[in-house]
Amino acid sequence: MPNANNDIPAPQSERSAQSTNALSQVQRRAVSELLRVSPVADDLARRFQEAGFTLALVGGSVRDALLGRLGNDLDFTTDARPEDVLKIVRPWADAVWEVGIAFGTVGCKKSSFDIEVTTYRSEAYDRTSRKPEVSYGDSIEEDLVRRDFTVNAMAVFLPQKEFIDPHGGLEDLAARVLRTPGTPQDSFSDDPLRMMRAARFAAQLDFEVAPDVVAAMKAMAGRIEIVSAERVRDELNKLILAPHPRKGLRLLVDSGIAERVLPELPALRLERDEHHRHKDVYEHTLTVLEQAIDLEEDGPDLVLRLAALLHDIGKPRTRRFENDGRVSFHHHEVVGAKMTKKRMTALKYSNDLVKDVSRLVELHLRFHGYGTGEWTDSAVRRYVRDAGPQLTRLHKLTRSDCTTRNKRKANALSRAYDGLEERIARLQEQEELEAIRPDLDGNEIMQILDIAPGPAVGKAYKQMLEIRLEHGPMEREDAIAALKEWWATQG
């Protein structure tokens, strides 16, 4: 069947065995390219064949090969049971792991390839359970129909290179649309996380989601609440780290799913009236996220992207209507940092990640006190000290937070931040600003003051750090004099 996109082969009709066995020239080129970049596939398939089993490359691996973006993660499906898969891959692979074996998946590594081999499955989900009850299937058709989207429900039997596409995945791939193999209602009832996957794939692939799929997401959004926080978090991370996160986040918000997993985001859609005007915080947030992405230097940065997404979530709780018609959000950065910590903890993020993101949210407004550059050197030192290892990200977040259409104002803010970064760089050259320590350490403080270890030492150390921040490096004699002068005031 001809297709408007000559780079993608036409879909195979489920009823046409002839189409299955006689791939078009374009199909053959696509499959050959897939096998060229994954030479281990034929070798592994022959081993399965010799053992009396079939093996097919499946799902995302086939999709990505047809999109020209296949990496080194390869997914296979087979009629062999997990114990048989282990017998086949153990003598062949460089390493084998059984983490997913309860779900029929055996993982292994061969050269630079990470491989997963999963037995045909026919999953039955308890409608109140967070995990599937796995039962094994007997055919690849049964396996493909249970997959999330048609573009992930294609396979290539190896080594004979037989292309299988019973649900029109190639056609949907060409149209850049996400549909489910069966009804979306059945699919999402089986695994509600697939609703988040729809948003994630839209963000990753820049695909549209079919109207009936969106309708099912809206009708069944509440089902996401039975999914574990860890699975929701992992799916959210993939979406946020995708090339087009705005697209996926919009779908989560518009479908009502975000209300269940990240309610702080839809809460940014603040009501506005003709008397009290302020920027659209929701749209502003999505723009800040995109502008932060533009400043990334070494690939997607989860900490920066989360901070950009959450930086203003304190605004709804702090909004006040002033008498002069203005709207204020006093201390929204402090409130937002607490809300960030609470939400990320609920989603089971690591303590370090929670700490880093909430710190950036707390500090994202600090620069606006810089004004026209009247900060003292001590204020610049405190800015760097408080940012700590997040200073570079804070630079990017602060710059991204400027979404004004007033070019004059935007240029002024940019120049002011340029000036701050230059001052930071000069001070860092002078005094290694990122590793600020008092001029006297704890042992020296105890010796000079003739005191034993205890709270007084910590108090003195903190005072010496404040002096260091305020005045910069001091000669030892001056530091000792300052310590004794302060100690004399402590009674």
Distance CA 392, CA 307 (A): 13
Residue-wise pLDDT tens digits, 127-179 = 666 565 668 888 999 999 989 999 999 999 988 888 899 999 988 988 899 99
Contact 352, 380 (CB under 8 A): no
Beta-bridged to residue 73, according to DSSP, are 114
What does the pLDDT read at residue 22?
Answer: 35
Superfamily of domain 1-168: Beta Polymerase, domain 2 (3.30.460.10)
Q: Is 443 exposed, middle or buried (0-12, 13-18, 19+ CB in 10 A)?
A: exposed
What does the pLDDT read at residue 29?
Answer: 54
Domain boundaries, the chain: 1-168, 263-435, 442-488
Q: What is the DSSP letter of 176?
A: T
19 has a pLDDT exceeding 80? no
95 has a pLDDT exceeding 80? yes
Using a cut of 0.75, tell me whether the model's pTM lies above it.
Answer: yes
| Of the candidates 74, 39, 78, the residue with the CA atom closest to the CA atom of residue 59 | 74
Residue-wise pLDDT tens digits, 286-314 = 999 999 999 999 899 999 999 999 999 99
Lowest mean pLDDT among 30-44, 320-334, 386-400: 30-44
What does the pLDDT read at residue 433?
Answer: 57
What does the pLDDT read at residue 322?
Answer: 78
Q: What's the one-letter identity of residue 265? A: L
Contact 296, 309 (CB under 8 A): no
Residues 6 or more apart in contact with residue 354 via CB below 8 angstroms:
340, 341, 344, 345
Buried-exposed string 209-227: b where 16+ CB fall within 10 A, e elsewhere: bbeebbebbeebbebbeeb
Residue-wise pLDDT tens digits, 232-277 = 999 999 999 999 999 999 999 999 999 999 999 999 997 664 444 5
* DSSP character string of 137-154: -SSHHHHHHTSS-GGGS-
Backbone angles phi, psi at 276, to 5 degrees: -125, 100
CA quadruple 423, 425, 431, 437: dihedral positive or negative? positive
74 has a pLDDT exceeding 60? yes
Average pLDDT of span 34-51: 84
Distance CA 254, CA 195 (A): 12
Beta-bridged to residue 382, according to DSSP, are none
Distance CA 198, CA 214 (A): 9
Contact 30, 9 (CB under 8 A): yes
263-435: CATH topology = Hypothetical protein af1432 (1.10.3210)
Residues 6 or more apart in contact with residue 181 via CB below 8 angstroms:
144, 145, 146, 147, 149, 150, 153, 166, 167, 187
CA angle 177/180/181 to nearest 5° reads 120
